[in-house]
Protein backbone atom coordinates (compact mmCIF):
# COMPACT_ATOMS: atom_id res chain seq x y z
CA UNK A 1 0.00 0.00 0.00
CA UNK A 2 1.42 3.30 -1.13
CA UNK A 3 0.87 6.28 1.21
CA UNK A 4 -0.37 8.26 -1.79
CA UNK A 5 -3.53 6.14 -1.74
CA UNK A 6 -4.22 7.41 1.76
CA UNK A 7 -3.49 11.01 0.77
CA UNK A 8 -5.92 11.10 -2.15
CA UNK A 9 -9.11 11.13 -0.02
CA UNK A 10 -7.50 13.74 2.23
CA UNK A 11 -6.69 15.92 -0.80
CA UNK A 12 -10.29 15.80 -2.01
CA UNK A 13 -11.74 16.32 1.47
CA UNK A 14 -9.63 19.42 2.13
CA UNK A 15 -10.22 20.87 -1.34
CA UNK A 16 -13.97 20.26 -1.11
CA UNK A 17 -14.15 21.77 2.38
CA UNK A 18 -12.31 24.94 1.32
CA UNK A 19 -14.37 25.39 -1.83
CA UNK A 20 -17.65 24.80 0.04
CA UNK A 21 -16.78 27.43 2.64
CA UNK A 22 -16.05 29.92 -0.13
CA UNK A 23 -19.23 29.09 -2.05
CA UNK A 24 -21.59 29.07 0.91
CA UNK A 25 -20.68 32.64 1.85
CA UNK A 26 -22.44 33.85 -1.31
CA UNK A 27 -25.44 31.54 -0.93
CA UNK A 28 -27.71 33.79 1.13
CA UNK A 29 -26.84 37.27 -0.04
CA UNK A 30 -25.96 36.84 -3.70
CA UNK A 31 -27.62 33.97 -5.61
CA UNK A 32 -25.97 34.94 -8.91
CA UNK A 33 -22.61 35.14 -7.16
CA UNK A 34 -23.25 31.69 -5.74
CA UNK A 35 -23.79 30.24 -9.21
CA UNK A 36 -20.59 31.89 -10.44
CA UNK A 37 -18.69 30.55 -7.46
CA UNK A 38 -20.16 27.10 -8.00
CA UNK A 39 -19.00 26.99 -11.62
CA UNK A 40 -15.61 28.46 -10.72
CA UNK A 41 -15.14 25.85 -8.00
CA UNK A 42 -15.85 23.05 -10.47
CA UNK A 43 -13.21 24.41 -12.83
CA UNK A 44 -10.68 24.94 -10.01
CA UNK A 45 -11.25 21.42 -8.72
CA UNK A 46 -10.88 19.96 -12.20
CA UNK A 47 -7.65 21.79 -13.10
CA UNK A 48 -6.07 21.28 -9.67
CA UNK A 49 -6.97 17.60 -9.77
CA UNK A 50 -5.55 17.12 -13.25
CA UNK A 51 -2.30 18.79 -12.17
CA UNK A 52 -2.06 16.63 -9.04
CA UNK A 53 -2.86 13.49 -11.01
CA UNK A 54 -0.18 14.24 -13.62
CA UNK A 55 2.43 14.74 -10.90
CA UNK A 56 1.37 11.55 -9.16
CA UNK A 57 1.46 9.51 -12.33
CA UNK A 58 4.85 10.86 -13.38
CA UNK A 59 6.38 10.02 -10.01
CA UNK A 60 4.62 6.72 -9.31
CA UNK A 61 6.20 3.33 -9.86
CA UNK A 62 4.82 1.47 -12.87
CA UNK A 63 2.88 -1.00 -10.72
CA UNK A 64 0.84 1.82 -9.12
CA UNK A 65 -0.06 3.87 -12.21
CA UNK A 66 -3.31 2.12 -13.18
CA UNK A 67 -4.70 1.64 -9.64
CA UNK A 68 -3.76 5.22 -8.75
CA UNK A 69 -5.41 6.69 -11.84
CA UNK A 70 -8.58 4.65 -11.33
CA UNK A 71 -8.77 5.45 -7.63
CA UNK A 72 -8.17 9.13 -8.27
CA UNK A 73 -10.87 9.24 -10.95
CA UNK A 74 -13.37 7.45 -8.71
CA UNK A 75 -12.68 9.81 -5.82
CA UNK A 76 -12.91 12.85 -8.10
CA UNK A 77 -16.32 11.76 -9.38
CA UNK A 78 -17.56 10.90 -5.89
CA UNK A 79 -16.57 14.29 -4.49
CA UNK A 80 -18.00 16.20 -7.47
CA UNK A 81 -21.33 14.40 -7.07
CA UNK A 82 -21.28 15.03 -3.31
CA UNK A 83 -20.51 18.73 -3.82
CA UNK A 84 -23.18 19.20 -6.45
CA UNK A 85 -25.92 17.43 -4.50
CA UNK A 86 -25.07 19.17 -1.23
CA UNK A 87 -24.87 22.66 -2.71
CA UNK A 88 -28.06 22.23 -4.73
CA UNK A 89 -29.93 21.17 -1.59
CA UNK A 90 -28.55 24.15 0.29
CA UNK A 91 -29.48 26.54 -2.50
CA UNK A 92 -33.06 25.25 -2.60
CA UNK A 93 -33.48 25.76 1.14
CA UNK A 94 -31.62 29.08 1.38
CA UNK A 95 -33.60 32.17 2.40
CA UNK A 96 -34.07 34.58 -0.48
CA UNK A 97 -33.04 38.24 -0.13
Q: Give the residue among 58, 66, 75 at the shortest CA–CA distance from 8.
A: 75
Number of neighbouring beta carbons within 10 Å of residue 93: 8
pLDDT at 61 over 90: no
Of residues 72 and 95, more confidently modeled: 72
Instruction: Round to whole Å and give the CA distance between 97 and 79.
Output: 29
pLDDT at 97 over 70: no
Residue-range domain boundaries for the chain? 3-93
- Average pLDDT of span 60-74: 91
pLDDT of 72 reads 94
pLDDT of 96 reads 67
The pLDDT confidence band at residue 15, using thresholds 50, 70 and 90, is very high
The pLDDT confidence band at residue 93, using thresholds 50, 70 and 90, is confident
Amino acid sequence: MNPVFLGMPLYFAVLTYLLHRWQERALVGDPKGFVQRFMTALVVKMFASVAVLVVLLLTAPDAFITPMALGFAALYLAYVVFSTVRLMRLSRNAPRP
